Amino acid sequence: MKLFENINELNGTLENSVITIGNFDGVHKGHQALFQQTIKKAKKINGISIVITFDPHPLRALGKSGPPLITRRDQKIELIQLANVDYIFCLPFTKEFAQTPPKDFIHNLLVAKLGMKAIIVGPDYLFGKNREGNIELLKKEGEKLDFSVIVPEWINDTKTGTNRISSTLIRKLVMDGMVSDIPEYLGRYYQIRGKVIRGRNRGGRQLGFPTANIKLYDELCPKFGVYAVKVECAEGIYPGVANIGYSPTFDDHIFTIEVHILNGFSSDIYGTRIRVNIIERLRDEKKFSGIAELSDQIHKDIEKTQELFKGLIE
């Protein structure tokens, strides 16, 4: 597996390749299926498999706001790497690049530079200047330049009855707090990443539940509330309970993402980066009449989480 973060890093040209291209935000099961089909086709022709993706998101590069990303650059690359394709190109999407006419993109990059013999893309794939390139154009150019165009059907979403898995659907589920539905689409839990920063030092001292306060690195934040989570830090992987919101019991109105790690975890993790896998939504945040009531409730949240983890197969 070779990763290129700029096309200029590739000396010379490649040959006999099967390529899939997309933004692949979230690297969901639909994307994963495209990667597997790319690998399969490459084996069939004794060639190499290539994933091409972009960063930043094209809409951002063009100065539009764009959706909150499910996976930022590094996580997206890590997840694509799990697919075991031969080459990953994570190319900078710039305003200049956006001006590339679709035919130039096909001729200069895909065919001349990367030696494309087959391309595998989703049914709605559009590309090039003004998104003028489409599957029809690919097929026409494919006849001239001797590559095939493979367009797999959408993967059915048996849960909602809609006929495709999409990044848009996944974003909505996360924002609605429907996190336990996520593994069905991502093949993993939704994960947020961030750095542990100093909080108000109230959790441990006043409540009896020390929390790691997280400065979010990710863009997509689950709906406010309390969640059962699995925390990955340098020390290992631990169950935890997280609160996302404004802690309405207190009147400071400060947005925080806090995690209390279970089983007496007491390592100093200030300043380190942690990953929090969001497993299940437990409840809404509530304004309690006092610290004792809040503390009682957190006890219950922890019990529920421990039960949940007993039932989880790793």
User: Which residues of this protein are in contact with ligand RBF, per CB under 6 A?
Assistant: 199-200, 202-203, 207, 209, 211, 226, 241, 243, 247-250, 258, 260, 285-286, 288, 294, 298, 301
Q: Which is nearer to Mg ion, 83 or 259 (CB)?
A: 259
Residues in Cβ contact with 99 at an 8 Å cutoff, skipping those fewer than 6 apart: 129
When binding is defined by CB under 5 A, the residue of 53, 191, 213, 243 that contacts Mg ion is: 213
Contact between 183 and Mg ion per CB under 5 A: no
Minimum CB separation from Mg ion for residue 200, in Å? 7
Of 117 and 281, nearer to ligand RBF (C-beta) is 281
Q: Whose CB is nearest to Mg ion?
A: 199
Q: Which among 40, 62, 58, 60 has a CA at the least distance from the CA of 49?
A: 40
Question: Residue 38 interacts with Mg ion (CB under 5 A)?
Answer: no
Q: Which does 17 bind (CB under 5 to 8 A by kind): Mg ion, ligand RBF, none?
A: none
CA 75 – CA 26 distance, rounded (Å): 9
Q: Which of 34/196 has CB closer to Mg ion?
A: 196
Nearer to ligand RBF (CB atom), residue 101 or residue 199? 199
The nearest distance, CB 284 to Mg ion, in angstroms, is 20
> Would you say 106 or 274 has its CB closer to ligand RBF?
274
- Residue 290's DSSP bridge partners are none
Q: How far is CA 239 from CA 159, 232, 259, in A?
A: 27, 9, 10
Of 177-185, 195-203, 219-227, 282-290, which segment contacts Mg ion by CB under 5 A?
195-203
The binder of 66, among ligand RBF, Mg ion, none, by C-beta within 5 to 8 A per type, is none
Nearer to Mg ion, 134 or 249 (CB): 249
Residue 188 binding result from Mg ion, ligand RBF, none, given CB thresholds of 5 to 8 Å by partner type: none
CA distances to 50, 172, 181, 283 from 280, rounded to whole Å, are: 35, 16, 9, 9
> Could you give the residue ranges of the DSSP H alpha helices within 92-249?
95-98, 102-104, 135-145, 167-175, 182-186
- Closest by CA to 240, choosing from 144, 154, 309, is 309
Q: Which residue is nearest to ligand RBF (CB)?
A: 249
Q: Report residue 214 as tokens.
A: 């997280």
CA-CA distance, 38 to 20, in Å (whole number)?
7
Distance of closest approach, residue 234 Cβ to ligand RBF, in angstroms: 21
211 binds Mg ion, rule: CB under 5 A: yes
Q: How far is the CB of 70 from ligand RBF (least distance, A)?
A: 24
203 binds Mg ion (CB under 5 A): yes
Exposed, middle or buried: residue 111 (CB in 10 Å: 0-12, 13-18, 19+)? buried
Cβ atoms within 10 A of the Cβ of 290, count?
A: 8
Half-sphere exposure of 54 (CA within 13 A, CB side): 18
